[in-house]
Every structure is written in C-alpha cells, then in structure tokens.
Structure 1
Amino acid sequence: MPEIKIAATDGSGSFSAYLAEPAKKPAGAVIMIQEIFGVNATMRALSDWVASMGFWAVSPDLFWRQEPGVSLDPDAGQEQWQRAFALMNGMDQGLAIADLKASMAAARALPGCNGKVGTMGFCLGGRLAFMMALDSDADCHISYYGVGLEGLVGNAAKITAPTMLHIAEADKFVPPAAQQAIADGLADTRLARVEIYPGVDHAFARVGGHSYDARAAAIANGRTAELLVKMLG
C-alpha cells in the first residue's frame, strides 16, 4: 500500500500514514482520522474515495505509540473489539492531536498540494476531528458519529473553520441526551453544523458494516463532498 513516514513533533520517532493521491493537482488534502480499529481496510477505502473526489488523503497511524500497523476488522468477532477498545483506552489523545498536526504539515508539503487541509474522522476519529476544530488551523473539519462530543462543546467558541457533525439518531454510544447537549452547545456557533440522521446506528456510513445505511450514508457523504469542495478547492 502507498505510505509515507511522518516525524513526530515530540522527537519520539516517526509513524506511517496511508496516502491516496488525486488524479489532478494542485489539490487540497484531507487528514483521514481512524476509527478504533486502526488504519484498516475501511480507512484505506475511505481515503481512496476522498482521492477519487480530487483531494489528497492522508490517514495516519494513531496507535503507533502502542502498536504500529494496527488493522482490525469490526465484523470479525469480539476479540477484535476488545483489542480496539484497549488501544483506544491506551491512547494519549493529546499526543494524537500532535500527530494529526504533524500530518497536516506533511500534507501541506506534498508536491501538488495547494496548501489547504481539512480533517475527517470516524468514531474515535470523529472526536479527534472535533478536537482539531478546537485546536488547529485546518480549513474545515468533518466528524462522523464522533463520541464524547458533549464534553467538548463548551469550548465551541474556539472553532475557527467550518465544522460538520454527522450524528446517528440511534447511536448507542451517543444517546439522546448527549445528542441534545451537542446540538444545544453548538446552536450559537455559526461555523458548526449538526446533522442528525433518523433511525440509523453508529457507523452507518461504513460500507459493508452491520449498521450500514445506504441512504443516510449517501446524504451524509454528499454534504461532506460539498464542504470539501467549498473549503479545499
């Protein structure tokens, strides 16, 4: 698979990132932020999809400090989920944000990148994308079924770029009270947009997954594409 190496800003080493290249350049770049399952087949396919829309896609390995090269299958049994949750719980999210900022710098330095960079994350990555909205200079941010956002929206005044949240109405990890807290917390934030998809569960946009919903995914992905084109060129 095509990969690049990115130096960690704390001097602790370097980590790999899956790289998908657009056919035409110059082009903007999207930092693709993994679910709890690592940079697996789903993240690589999503990165290829973003590249097919005309953007660089960079998906960094955020578990590298614990175990480099993690690639788990969420539909392959409980053992995979147990490993995924252990890795998520072992992650230092502050260091993950530093690694994402390093990934942004690497993306901007790609030959043929136009200098514009966005973030797009899923599940754990959806949380990290929102954290990047609060603490980075990216041009836009997209969060698919991010977890724990209700505890972050109190800092919404720090958002400086368009930020879109795709939320599954039936998400067991984001119950109705959390969804309401997110919507209320961002109601006065002009740059934030919350979209709630009726009747669908967590990971509704993961093609082939047990919760995949083609209609909701198509609507969400269309909104994502519009924002990327508007902000990244």
Structure 2
Amino acid sequence: MATGEQVTIKTPDGEFMAYQNGEGPAIVVIQEIFGVNQVMRDLTDHYAAQGFTAICPDLFWRIKPGIQLTDKTEEEWQQAFDYMNQFDIDKGVDDIGETLRYARRQGGGKAGAVGYCLGGLLAYLTACRTGSDATVGYYGVNIDKYLGEAKTIAKPLMLHIAAEDRFVDKDAQKTVMDALKDHDQVTLHRYEGVDHAFARPGGEHFDAKAAENANARTRAFFQSHLG
C-alpha cells in the first residue's frame, strides 16, 4: 500500500491540511481528540486499502495546525481535552462538508464519512447537515444533545455504541437508541461489555472481537452504499 500524502483543502475561512491515500469513492476519516496522529493515518491507510480515496482532515487547524497527540500519557490526555473544549463543533462540521466537496472534485463519485470518539459525534452531525452518501460513527459522545437534528438525515447512517462507554452513560445511550431505532436511514449496533474506543488499536480498551465485528459491518456498509 502506497504511503499517503498531505493535501490542502481551501474553505471560505482559510485552508487546512489533510492526509490522503487511495483511489475510488471517497471516505472522509474524522479524527479523535488527539488530532491527525498515527492512529488516524493508519485508519486512513486502512480504508485506502479497501479501495477508497480516504481523506483525514485536520479539524483542529483553527486552534493549532498539525496537532498530533497519543493516548499514552496523562499530559497528552489533558492537552487533548483542552483542544476539544476549544473546538467549534459547527465549524468542524463545515470543514467536513468542505472535505466532502473536495473529495467529489477529485472525480471519485460518491463520498461518505467515518468518525471516532469526537469524530463519532461529528459523523452523526455530518449525516444530519451534509450530503454525505453514507456515514459511520464509532462511540460518539454527546449525540443525545443533537437528536433534534435527526429528522434531516436523508442518507444511510450507522452508529457503533459501546455499552460500557465511560463518556456516554446508559441513560444517554438509551435516549439515542430510542430516538433513532425507528429512523429508516439509521442502523444501530451496541457492543456489550466494551468501553469507549474499543476499536482503537493499541488503546487501553481495545477489544479485538468487538473491533473486528464493527469494522466488518462498516466495510460492508461502505461497499454497499459507496461502491
């Protein structure tokens, strides 16, 4: 698999960088709170290897371009939470929309998105607010606060929910599932006994079985709706 490249995406507010790899229908890979780090680049390469143009935009560029943290130290966790608290979610979704438009200009045809952690919420909002052809969110936090937007979801959305998510309590999970379970564009999968970031390779709560299951569902979902 070829190494990806850094590309520039221009918006009305300025320009930001993104990591891109692969050819075919596009998938925008939406970052966690740690920036476009090695985990996100590896995920981008993973989708590229499946036959997609995968693009991971630097959504923290308005705070500080090029942030790359890990989940290995308490200091980095605190930095990541600080960046998340500064992050403008609405502007972030706008940037994802610009990335989708950029992807379509590359001639790849359909374009979707997949997000993790903070990116899981942004994936949900991408399905609500943009023309993403198919969208997947992994363990999104605070989706329950945006359920009023679900009525605008017009294209397929899949959400992977961690039953023991430390950042999304059982009441919030139930609220999300009750609100979305009958939506004709939404597919929900809940994974028992796993915590937030169960699909992050090398992470503290990585669960190989649940990750394999979720990733297989995601792969089939994108192949069905973007292929």
How far off is 1:154 after superposition?
A: 2.6
Post-superposition CA distance 1:29-81 (Å, at most 9, x none): 00000000000000000000000100010000000011000010011x11101
Post-superposition CA distance 1:86-135 (Å, at most 9, x none): 11110111111111111111111125x1x200010000000001001111
How far off is 1:188 after superposition?
A: 2.0
Residue equivalent to 1:3: 6
Quick one: which of 144, 153, 163 aligns to 2:147?
A: 153
Aligned positions of 1:153-232 closer than 5 A: 153-232=147-226
Write the distance in 1 (CA, Å) between the matches of 2:50 and 2:120: 20
Residue equivalent to 2:42: 45
Write the distance in 2 (CA, Å) between the matches of 1:94 and 1:153: 15
Unpaired runs of at least 5, structure 1: none
Instruction: Give the secondary structure class of the aligned counterpart of 1:37.
Output: coil
Write the distance in 1 (CA, Å) between the matches of 2:21 and 2:134: 19
Quick one: which of 76, 81, 84 aligns to 2:80?
A: 84
Give the letter aligned to residue 44 of structure 2: S
Residue equivalent to 1:97: 93
Give the letter aligned to residue 182 of structure 2: D
Could you tell me the percent identity over the aligned residues? Answer: 43
4+ aligned runs moved over 3 Å, structure 1: none
Give the letter aligned to residue 70 of structure 2: D
Write the distance in 2 (CA, Å) between the matches of 1:109 and 1:154: 31
TM score, norm. by length of structure 2: 0.96
Residue equivalent to 1:29: 26
Instruction: Give the secondary structure class of the aligned counterpart of 2:110.
Output: strand
Residue equivalent to 2:21: 20
Unpaired runs of at least 5, structure 2: none
Write the distance in 2 (CA, Å) between the matches of 1:142 and 1:136: 13
Give the letter aligned to residue 220 of structure 2: E
Write the distance in 2 (CA, Å) between the matches of 1:81 and 1:65: 19
Give the letter aligned to residue 87 of structure 2: M
Aligned residues: 224
Quick one: which of 68, 81, 89 aligns to 2:65?
A: 68
Give the letter aligned to residue 20 of structure 1: N
TM score, norm. by length of structure 1: 0.94
Kept in 2: contact 1:154–1:185 (CA 8 A):
no
How far off is 1:208 after superposition?
A: 1.0
> What is the root-mean-square deviation in Å for CA atoms of aligned residues?
0.9
Write the distance in 1 (CA, Å) between the matches of 2:196 and 2:96: 23
How far off is 1:9 after superposition?
A: 2.5
